[in-house]
Structure 1
Amino acid sequence: MSTQPDHGHELIPRPEHTPDALRAALAVVDPGRLDEMQAQKDEAFAKAVEWQSLSPVRSWVLVWARDIEIARRPDLAVRYARAQSRLEHEDPATAREALRELSSVLDEAMNAVRE
């Protein structure tokens, strides 16, 4: 597990960017997504072989590190869930604000895992 700045309460430390560490972290913060993670991992590794490139594997790692960052930090998880729930709001301004907030949460999480 790596060190990171304090974001308030965190459910678990930020995991290393390895498949095993990410899987172990997901098993704690969002175990219902383990099958999804495995399916996407299998797809990324198959593409890596087909394309003769590690790019799909790197992308898989970053996407799951980002999603785990959101799940392990209640502050981000609440913002993410609230924004998602308002994406299809009948008021267009509310929906646009939800999209901006969702983008902000995703950016914050991605920046954190790239530190």
Structure 2
Amino acid sequence: MLVFLTGLGTLVASIILKISSPDNINSIYGYRTKRSMKNQKLWDFAQKYSAKILIIVGILNILIGIALMFVTYSNEYYLFFELGWAVLSFLPVFVLTERRLIQIELYLTE
């Protein structure tokens, strides 16, 4: 159930980010890392790209959460599995976005 709820929250957040991504670099809202906040071009790209990846992660978590609803586990570690999955599922968002930002940054400095 936790994976499903995380997927729903992620999907809603990604749609909000996609629809109303922040125009200017700020430290409150949006995809905020040191690299994405270096300049306006990187900032704009990071907002759009991370929103796309978040949509994919949200949909996958919803599907996995639905599949897990049909499985009943009496194991005491099941909650830790779900919590771990919910947290680790955001790792691709950061890895893929930062990798792409590095490529763009290298292209801009050439």
TM-score, normalised with respect to structure 2: 0.36
TM-score, normalised with respect to structure 1: 0.35
Q: Higher RCO, 1 or 2 (CA under 8 Å, sep at least 6)? A: 2
Computing the radius of gyration from Cα coordinates, the structure with the larger value is 2
